[in-house]
Amino acid sequence: MTSKKIFWTIFIIIIICAIFWLVKINFMTVKDRLTTADEITQNIPQLLQNAIVAPARLEKVKVKLFFASVDNVDCQADKFKEVEIDNTLDDLGLIPKVTNLLLAESSATSTLDLFSALPKDSQLLSFGYEDGRVSVDFSPEMNIGGGSCMMGLRRSQIEKTLLGLNEITDLKIKTVEIKVDGETETALQP
């Protein structure tokens, strides 16, 4: 065979394959096309994950837990204790971890000239994060005891501690919503 015949043979085979492919696409139902598009869309995160190698996460991170100094008079958390903790697999995992650590540390601050307004029996019931807003929901014990200064200090401790996560994560926390037993309006009211 001459090179011209080989060229034209290959060219015709390519044209025939292209025609079969176009016919197949044209005869696909709309549902088939949507299914194919959905499959591609669902696989995008996996494709990206395989294509992009994420930077390694640090094993340990230092977080700031906020408290009030013993001589505090402005009802705001004005001091912090830096604590090194094990990192989580993702940034969102640090929200409950740090919040629970703040609750646990509330009983261990007296020796450091720091004061915690958080009740010892308080528990984190749930948390969320969306559009720069962290939402934390505490057990009813969070509302027990204290006047307006104590409640302001509790709010300040929680907000400053969670906003401090911006220094070590990519969350970009702008606001902290505090709930007690699912309610925001009655949360931390004297």
pLDDT at 92 over 80: yes
Mean pLDDT confidence for 31-47? 52
The stretch 30-41 carries a mean pLDDT of 50
Confidence of residue 26 (pLDDT cuts 50, 70, 90): low
* Mean pLDDT (whole number) for 100-106: 85
Q: In the predicted model, what is the mean pLDDT of residues 129-136?
A: 93
List the domain boundaries for the chain: 3-51, 60-180
What integer pLDDT is reported at residue 33 of this predicted model?
46
Confidence class of residue 1 from pLDDT cuts 50, 70 and 90? Answer: low
pLDDT at 105 over 90: no
3 state SS for the chain: CCHHHHHHHHHHHHHHHHHHHHHHHHHCCHHHHHHHHHHHHHHHHHHHHHHCCCCCCCCEEEEEEEEEECCCCCCCCCEEEEEEEECCCCHHHHHHHHHHHHHHHCCCCHHHCEECCCCCCCCEEEEEEECCEEEEEECHHHHCCCCHHHHHHHHHHHHHHHHHHHHCCCCCCCEEEEEECCECCCCCCC
Rounded to an integer, the average pLDDT of 87-110 is 82
Q: Is the pLDDT of residue 5 over 90?
A: no
